């Protein structure tokens, strides 16, 4: 339950950031401020959409953290210069909370991924040698039994021996 609540909080904060950047774009267009600031808000909007789409993956978490870092700078540079302190507290606190939550969630996500990795079996060298020697001894016993069986049943050796005897008797 705790993880799903955290994800819900992060998604709500991202939706708020989307809403805030849309309002900021409209405000910037109406009041006729610089194009750079409008582009910055558009960039924040796009990054929020991308972070929402990539939520749950490592890449999504990194994008989410980057999004909130840029949003910090955005609030500090643009809003702090133009508005009173009361008007900037609400988005600043929400953005800071989102950044902190995203950092804690990204760390827990990495730990969850590490927990899902199957454990690596550690095999001793002595055990490997024992199993290798057992396997080789089994192979050698199989070869010996097969040689014995073929040796007793095969008659070419006797023929070769009989040929030698004939050749010695001819002399």
pLDDT tens readout for residues 98-152: 656 665 655 554 444 455 555 555 555 666 666 666 656 655 555 555 545 555 5
Domain housing 48: 2-115
Do residues 13 and 97 make contact, with C-beta atoms less than 8 angstroms apart? yes
Does a structural domain hold residue 89?
yes
Q: For residue 142, give the H/E element and its range.
A: helix 125-153
Per the structure, how many domains does the chain have?
Answer: 1
Does a structural domain hold residue 121?
no
Does a structural domain hold residue 104?
yes
Does a structural domain hold residue 138?
no
- pTM over the 0.85 mark: no
Q: What's the CA gap between 37 and 73, in Å, rounded? A: 12
Do residues 91 and 20 make contact, with C-beta atoms less than 8 angstroms apart? yes
Does a structural domain hold residue 65?
yes
Do residues 13 and 94 make contact, with C-beta atoms less than 8 angstroms apart? yes
pLDDT tens-digit map of 65-111: 666 666 666 666 666 666 555 555 555 565 556 656 665 655 554 44
Percent of all residues in the chain with a pLDDT value above 70, rounded to a whole number? 0
Does a structural domain hold residue 123?
no
Does a structural domain hold residue 139?
no
DSSP code for 118? P
Does a structural domain hold residue 167?
no
Q: What is the DSSP string of 7-55?
A: HHHHHHHHHHHHHHHHHHHHHHHHHT--HHHHHHHHHHHHHHHHHHHTT
């Amino acid at each position: 339950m705790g993880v799903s609540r955290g994800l819900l909080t992060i998604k709500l904060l991202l939706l708020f950031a989307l809403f805030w950047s849309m309002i900021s774009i409209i405000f910037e267009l109406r009041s006729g401020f610089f194009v750079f600031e409008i582009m910055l808000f558009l960039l924040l909007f796009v990054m929020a959409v991308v972070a929402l789409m990539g939520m749950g993956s490592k890449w999504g978490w990194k994008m989410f953290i980057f999004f909130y870092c840029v949003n910090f700078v955005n609030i500090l540079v643009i809003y702090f210069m133009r508005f009173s302190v009361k008007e900037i507290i609400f988005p600043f606190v929400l953005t800071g909370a989102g950044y902190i939550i995203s950092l804690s969630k990204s760390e827990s996500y990495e730990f969850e991924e590490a927990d899902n990795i199957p454990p690596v079996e550690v095999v001793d060298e002595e055990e490997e040698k024992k199993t290798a020697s057992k396997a080789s001894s089994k192979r050698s016993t199989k070869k010996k039994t097969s040689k014995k069986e073929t040796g007793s049943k095969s008659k070419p050796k006797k023929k070769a021996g009989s040929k030698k005897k004939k050749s010695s008797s001819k002399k």
